[in-house]
Each structure stands twice: as structure tokens, then as C-alpha cells.
A and B are shown apart, each in its own frame.
Chain A
Amino acid sequence: MKPKILIIRVAGTNCDSETARALEEAGASVQIVHTKRLIDRLLDLSSFHGLVIPGGFSYGDYVRAGAIWASKLYSKLMDEIVSFADSGKPILGICNGFQVLVEIGLLPGLGEFGLRSISLAPNDSGKFECRWVYLKPNGSNRVFMKYYTPDRIIRMPVAHSEGKFIASNYILKVFEERKLILLRYVMPNGSPAGGVYPFNPNGSYMDIAGICNVDGNVMGLMPHPERATYLWQYPDFTSKIYGELEYAYGDGYWIFKSMCDYIIEEII
């Protein structure tokens, strides 16, 4: 049986198709559905094994990126989403999806951290940052990151205006201690970006690019793994010789593959 994964969308979502293709490549059976169909109870969230909130500019980023979509989910579907997460099923939020998970409080987690403990603020550069970045993954998360060996540095593109991760020193300390930081911006040689632009493209505290909840099954990240699923999506693809390519897929693919593996091993 294939993992059944739901991608939800609203007006302004624009990464749903690419994300679906990446998930299908990783072995999932994917359905893209407008959030209203869930709100109208035309579809049952619990019949899926995984949920992805994709990137885009939901409702024109009005108020704050992700805020309006989050209000709809929070007011109409929160019970279903919380029980989906509590059952251990994976939820992945990419870019705008990450912003939504933060706005509804699913990241870092409602139980312990409450609704408002972190924020994705406007980039320090004051502009939309669309560029490839180097990232250091934390392979200790088995749901999304199991394919990343400890010393591996990966590349994915970011594309956002509001991606500066901010939180209090206390929250940052808790994140570090509990290994909830899954992706960090680094220099090309793998050393910490240390806030240096453009390696850290937005000014994120502690170079944070992606995090998970305490249980590890809800992840949010600003970079776009679906845009780094195939090697031919990489800007330097044509300058590489096939023999030099270490992996059959792009770095982002392995997040989707890991998610599908986890569903097959633990959920189905």
C-alpha cells in the first residue's frame, strides 16, 4: 500500500504541483485539495497518512505571511489537525506552510510552548530572497531526516520575504537542547553561517532554516525541497559530469522519501 498524502491549498498557493510530483517520485499517492473541501467535510483528513502544507503566497500574504490561512485552519479544522499530529502522522510545512504551522501553534507545539512563542519575521535584507543556500541537516529526526548522514551538507533554494526565525533566548536554548532544529544555514564549507548574508539569507537567529515539534512528526522549513528533488533542478547541473554526482536525486528528495518510509514503517 502506498502512503496516502494530502496536500492542501488555498488561493495563492503555488508550490502544490511540484510538491505532489516530488512525493509521487518518493512513492506516495497524493491528492491536492482546496482547504474548503476539508472545512465543508467533503473529505476526511484522518483517512490520509500524511499532510503537507505547501509553499506559496496564501491570501496575498495579507496581515502576515500565512496568517489568514492559519485563521481558517485554527477556527475550522484545528481539532482534526491536532488529533492527526497526536496520532503520530507526519505533517510537513514548506515555506508558506511553515509560516502557517507557526501561526496555528503546531510548531513548536501547542501543549508545551503555547500559541505564540516563535515567529517568522521579514528578512533583514528587506527584500524577497530567492537563492540557493547551503544547509546542515540534523539527522537525528527519523521522520523526515533519516537519509542525511551527520557530516552531510545539502543545497536547496529559498524563496521568501518573511523567513527570519526569531524566538526568545529561552526558547532557542530549549530547541538546541532537545535537537528540534532540523536545518541550519551554513557556509559552503559547512561551518555555521553565523548570520552572515547571503549564506543566512534572512537573518534567522542561530541560522535556523527548519524545525520540528517535540515528537518530531511535525516539521517546518523555509527552503524548498520540492525544487531540489531532481538533479536537473540544480543551477550547476550542466557543469557537472554524471560520474561526479554522488546521489541519484537532489537533496530535497530525501525529506519526502524519509517521510514516505516513516509512513510505511510506522503508520500503515
Chain B
Amino acid sequence: MVKFKVRVEVWLKDELVDAEGKTVEEALKDLGYDVSGVRVGKVYIFNVESESSSDVERVVVDICERLLANPVKDKYFVSVLGHEV
């Protein structure tokens, strides 16, 4: 078994209003910055013991579907950052 370090990003789907993003955008505009399209997401970083990098992706997708994201409203991205030698 190898210990993989993974990174998961969870975002509200594009078609849904991201109220937190809008609020941040408003505040940035108040500060004088010319910004638009602000969206806020969550990042999770954790280690997973697994046999191969393809297997670890399968497990992490499962983790996203079961807990970290609700596919009805969220989209997510998985990346394997590396593993212990």
C-alpha cells in the first residue's frame, strides 16, 4: 500500500447563484478593485492509502459522491498531488 496525498475542490455548480461569491465581490468592489465573477469553493487535502494511482482516484471520487459534495448542487475536481516513496 502507498500513501497518496490528494486534493479535492468542491464548487457550487455554475448555474447556481453563489451568494458568498457575490458578497465577496461586492466587498472587493467597495475596496476599489475592478473584479467580477467571484465564486467561493472549498479545498480538502488529505492522505489516502491505496495500491495504485488509478485506484486512489476511484476511492476519492467515491469520497466526493458520499460526503464532500452533493452532486445535485456541487461540482468537484480531484487531483493526486503525490505519494510517499
**A residues apposed to B, CB below 8 Å:** 63-64, 67, 71, 103, 116-119, 121-127, 166-168, 203
A and B contact pairs by CB, cutoff 8 A, 17 listed: A63-B67, A67-B67, A71-B66, A71-B67, A116-B65, A116-B70, A116-B71, A118-B72, A119-B70, A121-B16, A121-B73, A122-B20, A126-B23, A127-B19, A166-B16, A166-B72, A168-B72
* Nearest CB in chain B: distance from A126 CB, A: 3
Interface centre among A118, A119, A124, A126 (most CB of B within 10 A): A126
- Interfacial chain A residues near B66, Cβ < 8 Å: 71
Within 8 Å of chain A (Cβ to Cβ): is B48? no
**B residues apposed to A, CB below 8 Å:** 12, 16-17, 19-20, 22-23, 65-68, 70-73
Identify the closest chain A residue to B42 (Cβ): A63
Whether A126 lies near B20 (C-beta < 8 A) is yes
Whole-angstrom CA separation of A117 from B73 in the bound complex: 10
Whether A123 lies near B68 (C-beta < 8 A) is no
Knowing A166-B72, A203-B17, say if A121 contacts B67 (CB, 8 Å): no
Whole-angstrom CA separation of A123 from B20 in the bound complex: 10
- Interfacial chain B residues near A71, Cβ < 8 Å: 66-67
- Interfacial chain B residues near A124, Cβ < 8 Å: 17, 19
Identify the closest chain A residue to B23 (Cβ): A126
Main secondary structure of the interface of A (DSSP, over half): loop
- Interfacial chain A residues near B73, Cβ < 8 Å: 119, 121, 166
- Interfacial chain A residues near B16, Cβ < 8 Å: 121, 166
Q: Pick from B19, B65, B67, B72: contact of A123, CB below 8 A.
A: B19
Whole-angstrom CA separation of A67 from B69 in the bound complex: 9
Whether A125 lies near B19 (C-beta < 8 A) is yes
* Nearest CB in chain A: distance from B71 CB, A: 5
Q: Pick from A118, A119, A126: contact of B22, CB below 8 A.
A: A126
Whole-angstrom CA separation of A119 from B70 in the bound complex: 7
Identify the closest chain B residue to A103 (Cβ): B70
Ordered nearest first, which 6 A-B pairs have the shortest CB separation? A126-B19, A119-B72, A119-B73, A121-B73, A119-B70, A126-B23
Whether B12 lies near A121 (C-beta < 8 A) is yes
* Nearest CB in chain A: distance from B66 CB, A: 8
Whole-angstrom CA separation of A168 from B15 in the bound complex: 13
Whether A167 lies near B19 (C-beta < 8 A) is no
* Nearest CB in chain B: distance from A101 CB, A: 14
- Interfacial chain B residues near A122, Cβ < 8 Å: 12, 19-20
- Interfacial chain B residues near A67, Cβ < 8 Å: 67, 70
* Nearest CB in chain A: distance from B74 CB, A: 8
Whole-angstrom CA separation of A63 from B17 in the bound complex: 18
Name 19 extra pairs, CB < 8 A, besides A63-B68, A103-B70, A166-B72.
A63-B67, A67-B70, A71-B67, A116-B65, A116-B70, A116-B71, A117-B72, A118-B72, A119-B70, A119-B72, A119-B73, A121-B12, A121-B73, A123-B19, A124-B17, A124-B19, A126-B20, A168-B72, A203-B17
